[in-house]
C-alpha cells in the first residue's frame, strides 16, 4: 500500500463549481498534514496545513480524520487560477527534521 | 514566508558530465535542507537530507557516490550529479524546513536537468 494515496484526476470543472479532493495515508503515526499546490513545471507551494479540528482559509476547507487516516480538501467557487495539481503531504517525522511524504497529486482543471 | 533559491533553473548536459545544483536559503539559516527528485507525473521523492557540518543522509536506493551533497554553510547546500546519464534527467528540488510547529518546508524553484 502506498504511503499517501490520491485520486490522480484530472478533475475538469466549470468556474464556480465546488470540488473535493480526498487523500489517505498509511502511517498511523503521522504527525502533521498539508495540502500543497504545484503548478506545471514549478515547485510545490504550501496551500494550507490541516488541523485535527478542520480549518478553512477563504474558499478552501481542509479536514482530517485520524481514525480513518483520511484528509480532504474542498474548494468552493472554483476560479480559473485554481487550475493546478494539489498534493496531499504527510509529515511522518514530527520533529524539525521531519520527513515529508508526498502523494502523486490530483490535477484540477477549471474551465470558463 | 522564507525564501529558498536554486541555481541553475535549467541545465542540459552531455552524458558523462557532472552537474552542480545550488540551494540557498536567502533570509534565514538552515541547518538542514532536503533534496527531492520528481519524474514526470510522479510524486516528489526524497533523495537525501543535507546537514550543515556533517554528512548527508541518503534515502534507500539513492547512490551517495553519484549524488554528492555538500552543506558548506548555514545558507548553502549543493547537489552534484556525477557522471550524469539520461535516466538522471528529472526535476530536482531542494527545501528547507520552516520554524512552525507543523514543520512547513519552503521549496526552491527547482532545477530541470536534461542529460543527452
Q: What is the 3-state secondary structure (H, E, C) of chain B?
A: CCCEEEECCEEEECCCCCEEEEEEECCCCCCEEEEEEECCCCCCEEEEEEECCCCCEECCCCCCCCEEEEEEECCEEEEEECCCCHHHCEEEEEEEECCCCCCCEEECCCEEEEEC
Q: Which residues have a Cβ under 8 Å from the Cβ of A41 and sit 6 or more positions away?
A: B91, B110, B112
Distance between B102 CA and the closest CA of chain A, angstroms: 6
Is A26 at the interface with chain B, CB within 8 A? Answer: no
Q: Which residues have a Cβ under 8 Å from the Cβ of A67 and sit 6 or more positions away?
A: none
pLDDT at B17 (0 to 100): 96
Which of B92, B108, B115, B95 has the alpha carbon at shortest distance from B30? B95
pLDDT in tens, A11-69: 999 999 999 999 999 988 888 899 999 998 899 998 999 988 889 999 999 999 999 99
pLDDT at A92 (0 to 100): 80
Rounded Cα–Cα distance for residues B63 and A61 (Å): 40
pLDDT at B82 (0 to 100): 96
Is B42 at the interface with chain A, CB within 8 A? Answer: yes
Give the angle A49-A55-A61 at the CA atoms, nearest 5°: 90
Distance between B94 CA and the closest CA of chain A, angstroms: 9
Rounded Cα–Cα distance for residues A36 and A60 (Å): 12
pLDDT at B102 (0 to 100): 47
Is B97 at the interface with chain A, CB within 8 A? Answer: yes
Amino acid at each position: 500500500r502506498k504511503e499517501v494515496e490520491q485520486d490522480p484526476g484530472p478533475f475538469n470543472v466549470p468556474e464556480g463549481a465546488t470540488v473535493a479532493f480526498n487523500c489517505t495515508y498509511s502511517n498511523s503515526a503521522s504527525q502533521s498534514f498539508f495540502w500543497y499546490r504545484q503548478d506545471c513545471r514549478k515547485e510545490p507551494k504550501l496551500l494550507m496545513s490541516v488541523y485535527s479540528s478542520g480549518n478553512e482559509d477563504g474558499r478552501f476547507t481542509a479536514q482530517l480524520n485520524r481514525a480513518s487516516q483520511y484528509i480532504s480538501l474542498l474548494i468552493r467557487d472554483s476560479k480559473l487560477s485554481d487550475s493546478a495539481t494539489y498534493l496531499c503531504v504527510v509529515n511522518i517525522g514530527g520533529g524539525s527534521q521531519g520527513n515529508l511524504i508526498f502523494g502523486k497529486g490530483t490535477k484540477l482543471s477549471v474551465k470558463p | 514566508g522564507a525564501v529558498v533559491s536554486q541555481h541553475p533553473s535549467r541545465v542540459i548536459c552531455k552524458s558523462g558530465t557532472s552537474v552542480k545544483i545550488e540551494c540557498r536559503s536567502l533570509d534565514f539559516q538552515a541547518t538542514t535542507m532536503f533534496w527531492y527528485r520528481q519524474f514526470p507525473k510522479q510524486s516528489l521523492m526524497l533523495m537525501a537530507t543535507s546537514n550543515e557540518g556533517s554528512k548527508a543522509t541518503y534515502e534507500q536506493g539513492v547512490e551517495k557516490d553519484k549524488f554528492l551533497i555538500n552543506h558548506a554553510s548555514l545558507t548553502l547546500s549543493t547537489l552534484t550529479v556525477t557522471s550524469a546519464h539520461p535516466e538522471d534527467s528529472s526535476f530536482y528540488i531542494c527545501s528547507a524546513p520552516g520554524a512552525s510547529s507543523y514543520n512547513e518546508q519552503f521549496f526552491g524553484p527547482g532545477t530541470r536537468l536534461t542529460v543527452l
